[in-house]
Structure 1
């Protein structure tokens, strides 16, 4: 380059650098700190801080989360920083208050900020925040002790530290806040005592200590000194003893929540003196005696009282029933006596839940006539008499649950006009008569349960109008007549049970239109005729029970095309003909075709002793099973000798005439076949491959089989590079029309029903993560499909953990496996767009490499989570998953989201800690989760559940992993942590406990946080 040109270029670069420096220099110091110092330290995966730019001319109005002092004409000082919910991650900036001296509000909630680095602490970092009025650090990953220095901030009125991992006791300085009005430490790991000196902070208006593992103790009397308190939330705080009388001084109290503790004694009558009360939450304690009988009229603002799950007796006070309540929850008590008629006079009552008590008598006849009732649940009591006529008079009733009582009479005609009704459950009563016609066709109803009564008449044609109906249960009544054809138009019907009635006629042809049907139970009726043609269209059918009817004709072979059918009972009918070979395609847990008119030879799969009881009472069936075809044995023996002679003669002729030709053609055939077979395969790779499909195909022989299952076999194949790969070979039946649409393999059109092949390919081909098993490629031909994975030499976690090789898995190894698997699932839930729900998380689907590193595998039933699924509203047609790992809500609602995976992963953590399988005969009817909970509560604590093979020096780490497993397996999905939080909790265990293993208390095993609750203080 010529010298002049070189000098000009250098001058230009200097000018550009100077211009950039001038541009940055135009920003005031507060903003220079944010953009040059703070922003580079923050992980910002969603680019939420992209507006923080040095070239910005108006940062006060354009920078995300930044507010300035309105009194400052130059807008040069930052007074508020709100970075809540931006998915940011970083250590807490230790110099933020020094660099932003006028900062009055700091909100970092709902991110993954953590405690400062080793040269600082959160407490020291907050020392300089003298102008702070509000500080919100909730829902992050802060650890250690509560920050002491905040108690000295002279202007602080709002402090929210909830949803973190703070532990230990309250610092004594927390009794000296000068102006604090709100203190929330909900969902932490505080394991000391509830500090009495909190009663010295007389300025407090809200105190929220809920969901911490405090040492069991009484409610401190000193809290009665908080005379300005409006909200007292102490849910699940280990409280014992009686409610202290000192709390009667809290005259401004609006929300009074002492739920989920071990309080005893009576509900004190002085509560009636707290005239500002809006909500009383005392559920799940051990309170006894009666509700206060007088004084309720003083609580004119009361909207909700929940005294459920206690040991209360007596009646519901008449004065209480006249209040304008929004909610009255008194279920699971020992209340006795009638429900007082005056409850019907409550002008604002719209929710009545008194289930699981010993209430008796009749329901007030005017119930619902004056109040806009929406939810009524009086199940599991001893009520008698008729259902009140006016329950839906205000046109608002949505749920009416009256299970397990002794109600009698007819269903009121008024309910047949209640178009808002969504759930009606009247099962297990003494009701009778015909069903009002309009009830069948209610437009909004999705669950109708009339089982275990004495109803008569037929199912009305009006049922075609119930287009929202999902569950219809009519079993054990006296219904008669034929099924209406309109049933086939209920496109959302997933469960239809009408067993033990007197229904007759043929099943409607329209039944084959019920594409969402999962369960059909019509046993013990009087149905006749043939089964409808097209039953193979019910692809989601999981259970079919038509036993004890008079159905005739052949058993349709298309039943073998139902991909998820695992319960088939056609016994005690008049089916004839042979047992279809197609039924061998099914993976059945229950098969019963006994006592029909079936004949012919049993298919080979069913010619085994284990199926003998499945085909009893069919004298025409022949099989090698003992007891079948016994009257033909002599004829068969006589014929065998003649048949054997013919077979030997024909065999000899074939050998002589065909031997020469076969020998000539054999080599030509052998060489041509291999080349022809290979040309039929289509390969699609998802990574750069160091092998060809020929290398894979050449090694698919029985010597290389390392595993097999219902969908095919798995081979270990050594390729030319010396690397091993695992090949899963899936076979597909030509009769399964559901999976014929493979089309263009290279375009990525895979069908998810083909043994999980399509779902697995669609999922794994786009995933790149060290803890997800790598799918190298797939090979497809007309009759066979291959999935080629990285090879995991140590097999599955289940194989090692529950075998004689479990000694290889010491605690450090198990702990690392837990973290690896958690990181893989966290990637699926939080880093994939849209998120992916695995739906079959189990130890058998966690594979281990040579160093025992874990990979999540088997995505055959994985599902992309839609926007509704993420909120818990997407329902699956069948239960995917494995016994012992399935989340409770999934089993009875079929709703699937990430919380279902979290439950299953919690079971895996419990397996790692206990060394036991999720289902074990030793547990009886319980699974591993219930066994752990029972053992912890009744049989001596953690020593009774920890695997005895594990070294006791790791006991504290093991206990904390056990804690996380119990949190993940909470019965309520909202109480389960996200996988991201699970990963952080697991990662924080080892380093934090290394220096404290000796002498550390095991702690209370309970649920510590809920990172999905929007209002943790009112979680009930």
Structure 2
């Protein structure tokens, strides 16, 4: 008993606690093991046991992968970032780990809501949940007062963010909340209390209003990003107090005013980006920022000169201030220290010579100085820029010879020297330009023969040499350019014949060699070019007959005028659309074209034959009219789905050669043949007696004789009552001939309705194949070909017509698919033909929700760039397989917001946006197209590429 009493007295609480601690040092609490296993049970992993292979009962928790314990054996850190993990997070288990100070689960695929249990992690100092797919709002977390690091960037959270929770987190050094779909809110003033912040990332999280003046109190800041928000007002002057700043990005907002005085105090600044705002005034304040490596000022309203001091900056490698109002020269010493990686000063009013040393060390990949007033020649130093990819100096006043080596730079993809005063030849060095895709030299004084070595530049897609002084023969080897899609050589002095090998350029869609001195015949083999859509050989000395093989081409433009052709015009080319392109050839004849002499000999017998034929035709017409009357009487007895077709007058206008009459079409307008419904009428599938299938769009128009319209039917029937949709569609489609635009055979109109007769496309629309019950698996190759074909159709509408056509309702349901899965642009009911010299304004908001460009919200100006935006949405549908509007995107958000919200995540995470049915080995190719889609859907119309450029980018993204 005595000994026991002594033992109990010796085992004091302190000694017991020490022994207990020693026990714990060898083995953590069993409860912590169970908490970790509970967390593991809710997590899914795509790489098997690589992460959780050590998480077994045979191991101590402190030996688990990603787990770190403190000296007392308690779990203090969990680091499983980038572990390919999914599922949900059991915060109730993790926050039971009382010593947990670091929780890093970023760059995974966790989903679900972040639960209220997070606030129990009261000892956390480091929390990283960014780069995941959570949903719902962020719970209140004001009791996590020990946090020094908080990253929720691109985590998927949305709705109202608990900004007030930040007020208690005064120890925070890093705060990253950007790229989330928060509800719009003012700049959170709670952030201004976090005086220890060195990193603040609030880009793309719907912050509106002004940047508060107190931002200057965060004097420890080194990294400040507030871009892609709704910020207004001026940049506060006290931002100049942040002298530790190395990065300042506030691009893509609505900021106004001048660069504030004091910004020049930020001498540690390395990256400055205030682009895409409404800032103005000069930039002299920036001349003190001598450590700048990247300066982005583009798309503002800055003016004045570029400070000469920029030429002395030792680290400047990225320099972009396009789309402003700058004047004067570019500092001649710019880039002379280390050389630039890229420069873009396009679309200003700059003048003077091109600085000679910007390509020092051969690191420059892009030089863009287009649309200014630069003078002088291209410095010889640029002939050695081996890394150069894009060289754009078009629309200036440059002159002299182009350095020979520039033509053959190995990585060059585009050379645009057009609209200058360059002289001399294209050097033979061009044979070494194996990456060159686009060569634009129009409107210069270049001369000499086109070197045969140009055929060795095997990546060429577009050659445009119009309006120069080139001479000699076209190279016979030009047929080696298998990727060549556009060849424009008009307005030169080329002579000799058209090379037979041109027919080997199997990708050609556009050929213009007008206004030269070509002679000889048109090679018959040109008729075999599968995609040729435009052929202009006018104003040459060509002769012979027009080859019948040209009839097999699907031409929208044919111009053979002002040559020496003779003989009959092939029947399929004898259509009014081509009549102007055949004039100026006195030797041509035609039996059908007006103002062309007939091909048959003129005489008594032939006159009799013609008379007999005309009589027969007249008799046939009388018979047809009689039959039509009988048919119309019978038709009145039928009940159609909508209302009876009036039968007293029909007017048929054909736009292609047809082998049917209106009776066959009208017979097919029955309810059982309806295949689609629209706001202006139904679409019917009509099968002709010969078996040919057609699609007929039936549009009911206003009936002026109906009661209640306040007008007399006897008066108003004399006028044409057709719907605006009908007029737009006919005006657009009747003159268009392109392989990727739906073919309109004819129109049939009466007093109260109109029928548009199209080719029938059996595979329905792209929407059907992607989203409807008719959805079918499509390989990436098929999706790519649909994207490229549809882009080519829109490119033709924008750039290939005499007057550009703006579709105004580009969407996947208006892209039809033929039996070979080739796309056609369809439904031109909202189309607008751009009038020369007129504005493109409309008082109608046209388009479909989810596809409409954002400028519709603040302007009625319609441009081709609105179609580009809509097409970008279609590309996103093709890549992701998602509809433009899905509930998962969040309230009032669409696919563009969703993609853009994820574009700053890691490349691996971005790949997850690609439709899961696309095989893994094609996802990289799909990501290229998704990148093009994001360019098409930028907010500022000016920044979107043209459809011509979209086609070129898609051609470069061909599946590997």
Q: TM-score range by the shorter chain?
A: 0.5 to 0.7
Q: Deviations over 1:190-209 (max 9, x none)?
A: xxxxxxxx344212223334
Q: Deviation digits for residues 644-667 of structure 1, max 9, x if unmatched?
A: 99xxxxxxxxxxxxxxxxxxxxxx
Check the 8 A contact 2:213/2:237 in 1, yes or no.
no
In structure 2, what is the equivalent of residue 405 of structure 1?
A: 372
Contact 2:269–2:292 (CA<8 Å) still a contact in 1? Answer: yes
Q: Are 2:572 and 1:605 equivalent residues in the alignment?
A: yes
Counterpart in the other structure of 2:789? 880
Matched residue, 2:905 = 1014
Aligned to 2:775: 855
User: Given the alignment of the two structures, is residue 618 of structure 1 paired with residue 618 of structure 2, yes or no?
Assistant: no
Pick the aligned partner of 1:986 from 871, 878, 886: 886
Aligned to 2:111: 114
- Report 1:448-463 matches (<5 A): 448-463=415-430
Deviation per CA, 1:471-507: give whole Å up to 9, x if none: 1111001112111111111111111110011111110
* C-alpha contact 1:266 1:290 (8 A) present in aligned 2: yes
Aligned to 2:854: 933
Instruction: Indicate how the Cα distance of structure 1 residues 378 and 62 shifts in structure 2: closer, same or farther if over 3 A, else same.
Output: same
Pick the aligned partner of 2:173 from 205, 212, 237.
205
Q: CA deviation at 1:407?
A: 1.3
Look up the SS of the partner of 2:458 in the other structure.
Answer: coil
Q: For each residue in 1:426-449, what CA deviation from the matched residue of structure 2 results, as whole angstroms up to 9, or x when unmatched?
A: 111111222232332333322211
Query: Which of 115, 118, 126 in structure 2 is aligned with 1:123?
Result: 115
Q: Does 1:534 align with 2:534?
A: no
Q: Give the whole-Å Cα distance in 1 for the aligned partners of 2:185 and 2:40.
A: 45
Q: Are residues 40 and 801 of structure 1, via their aligned partners in 2, closer, same or farther at CA, if it must alter by over 3 Å? A: farther
Unmatched runs of 5 consecutive residues or more in structure 1:
1-27, 117-121, 177-197, 646-709, 711-792, 808-839, 865-875, 892-902, 910-915, 945-964, 994-1001
Q: SS at 1:147's partner residue? A: coil
Tell me the secondary structure at the aligned position of residue 146 of structure 1. Answer: coil
Q: Match for residue 407 of structure 2?
A: 440
Tell me whether 926-935 or 557-566 shows the greater mean CA deviation. Answer: 926-935
Following TM superposition, by how much is the alpha carbon of 1:253 offset from its aligned partner in structure 2, in angstroms?
0.9
Structure 1, 563-572 or 103-112: larger mean CA deviation: 103-112
Structure-to-structure mapping, 1:530-569, within 5 angstroms: 530-569=497-536
* TM-score normalised over the length of structure 1: 0.61
Alignment-derived partner of residue 497 in structure 1:
464
Which whole-Å CA distance do the structure 2 matches of 1:79 and 1:293 have between them? 45
CA apart distance, 1:883 = 6.7
Residue 144 (str. 1) matches residue 64 (str. 2): no
Instruction: Report the 3-state secondary structure (helix = DSSP H, G, I; strand = E; otherwise coil) of the residue aligned with 1:544.
Output: strand
Post-superposition Cα deviations, 1:748-780, rounded to whole Å, max 9, x if no partner, equal xxxxxxxxxxxxxxxxxxxxxxxxxxxxxxxxx
1:509 equivalenced with 2:476 (yes/no): yes
CA offsets 1:359-379 (integer angstroms, 9 cap, x no match): 111222222323422212221
Is the alpha carbon distance of 1:395 and 1:78 closer, same or farther for their aligned partners in structure 2, counting shifts above 3 Å? Answer: closer
Secondary structure at the counterpart of residue 115 of structure 2: helix
CA contact (8 A) 1:211 1:1007 kept: no
Partner-residue secondary structure (3-state), 1:247 = helix
- Secondary structure of the 2:578 match is helix
Contact 2:518 2:542 in 1 (8 A): yes
3-state DSSP of counterpart to 2:395:
coil
The alignment's TM-score, normalised by the length of structure 2, stands at 0.64
1:309 to 276, 279, 292: 276
Q: Which of residues 195, 199, 210 in structure 2 aligns to 1:231?
A: 199
State the Cα deviation string for residues 66-102 of structure 1 (Å, max 9, x = none): 43445699x99896362746274x4545764389887
Label 1:29 to 1:528 Cα distance change in 2 as closer, same or farther (>3 A): farther
Matched, 1:921 2:831: yes
How far is the alpha carbon of 1:461 from its aligned partner? 1.8
Check if 1:291 corresponds to 2:168: no
What is the aligned counterpart of 2:766 among 829, 836, 845?
Answer: 845
Alpha-carbon separation, structure 2, partners of 1:320 and 1:644:
87
Q: Distance in 2 between matches of 1:889 and 1:571?
A: 23
Contact 1:522 1:545 in 2 (8 A): yes
Task: Note if contact 1:455-1:479 (Cα within 8 Å) is conserved in structure 2.
Answer: yes
Counterpart residue number, 1:731? none
Asked whether the 8 Å contact 2:198–2:220 carries over to 1, the reply is yes
Return the offset for 1:125. 5.2
Relative to 1, partners in 2 of residues 1:67 and 1:884: Cα closer, same or farther, differing over 3 Å? same
Cα distance 1:29–1:84, how it changes in 2: closer, same or farther (>3 A)?
farther
**Pair 972,334 (structure 1): closer, same or farther in 2 beyond 3 Å:** farther
The 5 A counterparts of 1:788-799 are: 799=676
Kept after mapping to 1: 8 A contact 2:276/2:298:
yes
Which of 329, 340, 347 is the matching residue for 1:362? 329
CA, structure 1 residues 106+977, in 2 after alignment: closer, same or farther (shift >3 Å)? farther
What is the rounded CA distance, in whole Å, between the counterparts of 2:796 and 2:107 in structure 1?
A: 26
Q: Is the 8 A contact 2:62 2:69 kept in 1?
A: no
Asked whether 1:255 is paired with 2:217, we answer no
The answer to whether 1:246 aligns with 2:214 is yes
- Cα 1:879–1:510 change in 2 (3 A) is same
> d(CA) in 1 for partners of 2:414 and 2:257?
37
- Structure 2 residue runs of 5 or longer lacking an equivalent are 1-29, 613-655, 657-671, 685-760, 801-809, 817-825, 835-839, 910-933, 939-960
C-alpha spacing 1:846/1:981, structure 2 compared with 1 (3 Å)? closer
Does the 8 Å CA contact 1:416/1:437 hold for their aligned counterparts?
A: yes
1:330-369 CA-to-partner distances (Å, cap 9, x unmatched) read 2222222222222211121122212111111122222232
Q: Which residue matches 2:305?
A: 338
| 3-state SS in 2 of match to 1:512 | helix
2:544 maps to which of 572, 577, 591: 577
1:834 aligned residue: none
Q: Give yes or no for contact 1:322–1:347 (8 Å, CA) kept in 2.
A: no
Write out aligned runs for 1:584-733 (5 A): 584-627=551-594, 629-630=596-597, 632=599, 635=602, 638-639=605-606
Pairing 1:167–2:154 present: no
- In the alignment, the residues of structure 1 paired with residue 133 and residue 798 of structure 2 have an alpha-carbon distance, to the nearest angstrom, of 28
Aligned to 2:246: 278
Partners of 2:84 and 2:798 in 1: CA distance: 30
Aligned CA distance change for structure 1 residues 505 and 40 (closer, same or farther; 3 Å): same
What secondary structure, in the 3-state scheme, does the structure 1 residue paired with 2:765 have? helix
- Cα offset for 1:570? 1.7
Q: 2 CA distance for matches of 1:877 and 1:908?
A: 9
After superposition, give the CA deviation of every residue in 1:112-134 in whole Å (9 maximum; x if it has no partner). Answer: 54326xxxxx4245466566555
> Is this contact kept in 2: 1:966–1:1007, CA < 8 A?
no
- SS at the partner of 2:224? strand
Find the residue that maps to 1:312 and give its secondary structure: strand
Aligned-partner Cα distance in 2 for 1:60–1:379 = 63
Distance 2:814 2:82 in 1: 32
Q: Secondary structure at the match of 2:381?
A: helix
Indicate conservation of the 8 Å contact 1:307/1:329, yes or no.
yes
**Cα distance 1:144–1:282, how it changes in 2: closer, same or farther (>3 A)?**
closer
How far apart in 2 are the matches of 1:966 and 1:379? 21
Distance 1:493 1:501 in 2: 20
What is the CA distance between 1:159 and its match in structure 2?
A: 4.2
Summarize the Cα distance change of 1:144–1:1007 in structure 2 as closer, same or farther, 3 Å threshold.
Answer: same
Three-state SS of the structure 1 residue aligned to 2:418 is coil
Point out the more displaced range, 160-169 or 364-373.
160-169
Query: Residues 857-913 of structure 1: CA distance to partner in whole angstroms, max 9, x if unpaired?
Result: 78796168xxxxxxxxxxx9993225788999999xxxxxxxxxxx9669999xxxx
CA offsets 1:531-551 (integer angstroms, 9 cap, x no match): 122222211222211112121
